[in-house]
A and B are shown apart, each in its own frame.
Chain A
Amino acid sequence: MRTGDLIISIILHVAVILTFVISGPLTQKKKLELGDVMHIRLSAGQELKPQAPPVELKPIEIPSPIQMDEPIVPVMEVASKTQKAIVNKPKPKPKPEKKEQYQPQTEKGDQNRTGQEGGKKDISDELSSGSRFGGASIDNASFSYPYWFDQAFSKIERNWTNPVFSNSKIQCTIYFQVIRSGRIIRSEIKESSGISAYDRACLQAVERSQPLPPLPDTFTEEIIGISLIFPYLPG
């Protein structure tokens, strides 16, 4: 065996040992730690078996009659009617404590972006009590459906994740338009927070919420426009 070959052999051995020594700590894996005991929600009640003994017949209640002129549709088709109750009209909610409310800019043509009559309306009191949003306004003053605001804003809130940390209070206003099917046809940053990552996250929260709930059938206009404030409070 030549000396050169011996040296090569030694170097190769040393290199292999070094490989294991160097890469060993790097490849060491942390043991997975599973989280807490998983909470399993129980299902809602036991279904009755068809063979079950017949239940005791109760006196038949005669509810308010159905409007028989409403067409009955097959099971595969959807037939929803949105109807505002005429009775039991709730008292107007007391205005929430004064927040820093969004003041829309009075730019030209901004007053009526969706082409609706009636102009803008502040709908900040439609935000639920635990809402993270700082305020909202709608272009269509006649759109007054609390459940729609509640569900649409909840969906946007679920899709809103904040990627930034700041020591000061910032806020971004997103404007978006919704058509009858609930589809968002336009969304834009109306008032920037000054931090592009924050603005982008707010815009994405709206875009990821596509589609929003369909507009109620009793609302006759085709499109609504909403401005929504996404505030960031330090701490």
Chain B
Amino acid sequence: MKRILVVISLLISICAVAAAQEVRDYIGILDAKRTFEPTKISVEDTRYIGIDFISASDSIIMQNCAIILRKDLDFSPYYQIVLLDTFFMKHMELTEMSVLGWKRLGSKYLVKLDAEFPGENMRLRYRVIDVDNSQESFRGKFEAAKADYRALTHTVANDIIRNLTGDEGIFRTKICYTRKIGEVREVYIADFDGNNERQITKNGSINLSPAFDRAGNNIYFTSYKDGRPKLYKYSMANGTTDLIAEYEGINSAAAISPDSSTIACVLSKDGNAEIYLLELSGKVKKRLTRNWAIETAPTWSPDGKKIAFTSDRTGVPQVYIMDVEGMNERRVTFIGSYNDSPCWSPRGDRLTFVSRDNGFVVCSVDTLGNDFKILAHLGNNENPKFSPDGNHIVFTSDRLGQKDIYTMDLFGQNQRRMTTGGGYASPDWGPIKR
């Protein structure tokens, strides 16, 4: 009889624990919404202030500078570009927009660009006018080789954002990703807006999960170039590739700690996939997870004290957080039967991840698992990664048929396609270089 009671109490305990795992529920799900109106800002076409006649190619560069600056400022969730309204001008019988005209169109700030071309260089001067007060707020001047006019304009955009918000702009950051062409998947890098794409690996094999280190000097990735998945490091400075880890089984999903001293990655050398901490040389520092389930996709908190990861210990993948010693594990995703690919916001307050509903959607929660928000749900959306300022997310989506890279702001708005042609996966956003 005693044995029966023990068995019954054991079963009841198991049942209670199982129920407690799933008892948490949410009343409704809200899409992310902005609670503020973005500030409206206008950029006038670039004026030429040189003395000599301007060439046709320089004229096109000048026009492109204004267009790039408009796109950059419009990319920020806090600003919205107001474009020149020709109907308005006709109605007002204006031949040229005045500050008052921009004010009537709703602009709060007006950016005036002046350019000149000393030698093979381009000098770009900007002034930001407070339209309400018709007062110049601040100004800046930059110069670069004419061929680098795109970088020059991004620098102007960064300076304007820094003066307006106090935050560093992300308009000169890079995004790395993989692209499949035929049977080969190689690592590429491009500007945040998809321009200046450059191929990083050329080994004719399968290369996966590229990840920047926090200084942006190296890209860590997993490659099958030697027949099985090993971890490599590509140096941006000298273009060399070094082997980091070749333990038996999987060596993948590298994530570099905020102080760039440690690699969190997934190894299966002891049986199933578990999360380990490695030194930069590849030597194992510590094994963090230890159970029968598959643990993968580690991502560091910005203070370097915690790691979020995916585990299927409940039978389905869910996102968990543990401290960097591998202790104090807790689950943070409770909605959806499949949650994977977490990424911790650089601000530290939220995690973005992929959840499976009818398709795969990009979602976010706070670090306690509350405030669940759906950010991208058109088509299948995967591999979300935060920008270094925490204001944007890069992800892949097949919403238009092919799998391309997209960006959006942290509210899920202003979604833009970054690449075309399909075959893209695993984007990672590089740091702001100072």
**In the complex, chain B residues whose CB is within 8 Å of the CB of A151:** 39, 164-165
**In the complex, chain A residues whose CB is within 8 Å of the CB of B204:** none
Complex: how many Å from CA A213 to CA B23? 45
| Stretch of A79-87, A108-116, A195-203, A221-229 contacting B (4+ beta carbons < 8 Å) | A79-87
Q: Does A94 contact B (CB under 8 A)?
A: no
A219 to chain B, nearest CB (A): 11
**In the complex, chain B residues whose CB is within 8 Å of the CB of A96:** none
**In the complex, chain A residues whose CB is within 8 Å of the CB of B7:** 8, 11-12, 15
Complex: how many Å from CA A157 to CA B167? 16
Q: Mark A147-170, 1 if CB is under 8 A from B, else 0.
A: 110111011011000000000000
Q: Does B90 contact A (CB under 8 A)?
A: no
Among A22, A48, A213, point to the contact of B15 (Cβ < 8 A): A22
Among A54, A63, A76, A79, point to the contact of B114 (Cβ < 8 A): A63
Given A46-B67, A63-B49, A146-B130, do A82 and B15 touch, yes or no (CB 8 Å)? Answer: no
Closest to B68 in A: A47
Q: Does B57 contact A (CB under 8 A)?
A: yes
Q: Does A33 contact B (CB under 8 A)?
A: yes
| Contact A43 B71, beta carbon cutoff 8 Å | yes
| Contact B19 A27, beta carbon cutoff 8 Å | yes
A27 to chain B, nearest CB (A): 4
Closest to A52 in B: B60
**In the complex, chain B residues whose CB is within 8 Å of the CB of A61:** 47-49
| Stretch of A67-75, A97-105, A135-143 contacting B (4+ beta carbons < 8 Å) | A67-75
Q: Does B414 contact A (CB under 8 A)?
A: yes
A interface, by DSSP: helix, strand, loop or mixed?
Answer: loop
Among B49, B64, B335, point to the contact of A32 (Cβ < 8 A): B335
Q: Mark B135-176, 1 if CB is under 8 A from A, else 0.
A: 111111111100010011001001100111111000000000
**Interface size of A in residues (CB-CB distance below 8 Å):** 78
Complex: how many Å from CA A234 to CA B300? 41
Q: Does A57 contact B (CB under 8 A)?
A: yes
Q: Does B30 contact A (CB under 8 A)?
A: yes
Closest to B375 in A: A38
Complex: how many Å from CA A147 to CA B128? 10
Q: Does A45 contact B (CB under 8 A)?
A: yes
Closest to A24 in B: B19
A70 to chain B, nearest CB (A): 7
Q: Does B287 contact A (CB under 8 A)?
A: no
Most chain-A CB neighbours within 10 Å: which of B22, B133, B143, B378? B133
Closest to A155 in B: B165
Given A15-B8, A44-B74, A44-B83, do A54 and B143 touch, yes or no (CB 8 Å)? Answer: no
Closest to B81 in A: A44
Complex: how many Å from CA A212 to CA B389? 14
Given A23-B18, A27-B22, A213-B165, do A154 and B36 touch, yes or no (CB 8 Å)? Answer: yes
Complex: how many Å from CA A77 to CA B28? 48
| Contact B139 A155, beta carbon cutoff 8 Å | no
Complex: how many Å from CA A187 to CA B63? 45
| Contact A158 B60, beta carbon cutoff 8 Å | no
Q: Which B71-101 residues have C-beta < 8 A from chain A? A: 71, 74, 78, 80-81, 83
Given A32-B335, A82-B137, do A38 and B143 touch, yes or no (CB 8 Å)? Answer: no
Q: Does B125 contact A (CB under 8 A)?
A: yes
**In the complex, chain A residues whose CB is within 8 Å of the CB of B133:** 90, 146
**In the complex, chain A residues whose CB is within 8 Å of the CB of B108:** 150
| Contact A83 B136, beta carbon cutoff 8 Å | yes
| Contact A45 B22, beta carbon cutoff 8 Å | no
B432 to chain A, nearest CB (A): 12
A33 to chain B, nearest CB (A): 6
| Contact B3 A8, beta carbon cutoff 8 Å | yes
Q: Does B415 contact A (CB under 8 A)?
A: yes
Complex: how many Å from CA A68 to CA B44? 23
Complex: how many Å from CA A213 to CA B412? 25
B interface, by DSSP: helix, strand, loop or mixed?
Answer: mixed
Closest to A23 in B: B19
**In the complex, chain A residues whose CB is within 8 Å of the CB of B4:** 7-8, 11
| Contact B378 A78, beta carbon cutoff 8 Å | no
**In the complex, chain B residues whose CB is within 8 Å of the CB of A146:** 130, 132-133, 135
Q: Does B109 contact A (CB under 8 A)?
A: yes
Q: Does B370 contact A (CB under 8 A)?
A: no
Among B36, B141, B165, point to the contact of A73 (Cβ < 8 A): B141
| Contact B135 A85, beta carbon cutoff 8 Å | yes
**In the complex, chain A residues whose CB is within 8 Å of the CB of B125:** 66
B32 to chain A, nearest CB (A): 9
Q: Does B242 contact A (CB under 8 A)?
A: no
B150 to chain A, nearest CB (A): 10
**In the complex, chain B residues whose CB is within 8 Å of the CB of A45:** 67, 70-71, 83
Q: Does A1 contact B (CB under 8 A)?
A: no
Q: Does B237 contact A (CB under 8 A)?
A: no
Q: Which B13-34 residues have C-beta < 8 A from chain A? A: 14-15, 18-19, 22-23, 25-26, 28-31
Complex: how many Å from CA A12 to CA B5? 11
**In the complex, chain A residues whose CB is within 8 Å of the CB of B54:** 57, 60
| Contact B357 A34, beta carbon cutoff 8 Å | yes
Among A145, A158, A209, point to the contact of B137 (Cβ < 8 A): A145
| Contact B137 A75, beta carbon cutoff 8 Å | no
Q: Does B180 contact A (CB under 8 A)?
A: no
Q: Which chain B residues have a beta carbon within 8 Å of chain A's beta carbons? A: 3-4, 7-8, 11-12, 14-15, 18-19, 22-23, 25-26, 28-31, 35-37, 39, 47-50, 53-54, 56-57, 59-60, 63-64, 67-68, 70-71, 74, 78, 80-81, 83, 108-109, 114, 123, 125, 128, 130, 132-144, 148, 151-152, 155, 158-159, 162-167, 335-337, 355, 357, 361, 374, 376-378, 412-416
Given A45-B83, A80-B138, A154-B78, 8 other A-B residues pairs in contact with their CB atoms under 8 A = A12-B11, A23-B18, A26-B22, A73-B143, A75-B155, A146-B135, A147-B109, A151-B39
Can you list 22 A-B contacts with CB-CB less than 8 angstroms, sorted by A residue number? A18-B15, A22-B19, A26-B23, A27-B19, A33-B29, A34-B29, A43-B71, A44-B74, A50-B60, A55-B59, A57-B59, A75-B142, A84-B136, A90-B135, A146-B133, A147-B128, A147-B137, A151-B39, A182-B166, A211-B166, A211-B167, A214-B166
